[in-house]
Amino acid sequence: MRVEILGCSGGIGGTSRRTTSLLLDDDILIDAGTGVTDLPLPALKTVDHVFITHSHLDHITCLPFIVDSVGEMRNTPLTMHATKETLEVIHRHIFNDDIWPDFTVIPSPENPYLCFNTLEVGRSVVIKHRSITALPANHTVPAVGYQIDNLDTGATMVFSGDTTTCPPLWDIINNIPDLRYLLVENTYPNSQREMAIHTKHFYSSLLLAEMKRLRVNPEILITNAKPVWFNQIEKELVQGAGARKLRMLLAETILDL
């Protein structure tokens, strides 16, 4: 499985800073942040599934544009997968005929451009050789992370989405035998501790403390750093990681799973 990081920044500001979106092979997106804007139209058209972690704008920015841009080119609806709470918020606040057309009934209710699939934490969706499972997260709005398994090779990656400390997540991670990559957010440096607590994100020393729960040894890839704090976060985490394999994740990185 090929995993292309289209965006993994906590903000925008130049070509290296795009908000969260991961492309699995050529047909599955995890989140639909501004990283999606670089995909050419033929690549957008082949995306059949979008798994959303939560309803915050930096993770869904491009979803309305994808649906509108490729709807007429496709024969089947784009399927958006998310929990019931997240689906309801996005339907009510985005695809509401005020902000954007309700493409779940356009051009017709029988054959719309967009359809919804409700996820539950712990339940897997299998698409060809890939299994995608919603994982618990702890954020200011209902949120999940995702476990992504290559069923052919047995390799696994976990993406935390936006979260702060979340003990059930680490319990699950510790029971994954072949965890190759752990993509975990760290939005703020230690100097922004109050902001991190208020917005339910990780800051460096909190993530380093949480990592002590880890009993497996994946490569740890840091996502969602606010652009202005990127270098400070990198310094704090690399210093604190000790023997663990840890680096800041960048857009355009390709991971092999």
Q: Do residues 121 and 135 make contact, with C-beta atoms less than 8 angstroms apart? A: yes
Query: Phi and psi for 14 in degrees, rounded to 5?
Result: 105, 170
- Provide, rounded to whole angstroms, the least separation between the CB of residue 56 and Zn ion: 3
Cα separation of 170 and 73, whole Å?
41
Taking the CB of residue 86, how many other CB atoms lie within 10 A of it? Answer: 25
- Provide, rounded to whole angstroms, the least separation between the CB of residue 88 and Zn ion: 17
Q: Using the rule CB under 5 A, is 162 a contact of Zn ion?
A: yes
User: What proportions of the chain, in percent to the nearest 5, are helix, strand and coil?
Assistant: 30, 30, 45
Site residue total, Zn ion (CB under 5 A)? 2
Measured from the CB atom, the residue of 49 and 59 that comes closer to Zn ion is: 59
Window of 60-68, 93-101, 152-160, 162-170 that interacts with Zn ion by CB under 5 A: 162-170
Measured from the CB atom, the residue of 45 and 56 that comes closer to Zn ion is: 56
Q: Do residues 257 and 5 make contact, with C-beta atoms less than 8 angstroms apart? A: no
Amino acid letter for position 166: C
Measured from the CB atom, the residue of 4 and 162 that comes closer to Zn ion is: 162
- Provide, rounded to whole angstroms, the least separation between the CB of residue 195 and Zn ion: 13
Interface with Zn ion (CB under 5 A), residue from 45, 56, 81, 130: 56
- Provide, rounded to whole angstroms, the least separation between the CB of residue 5 and Zn ion: 18
Chain positions contacting Zn ion, by CB under 5 A: 56, 162
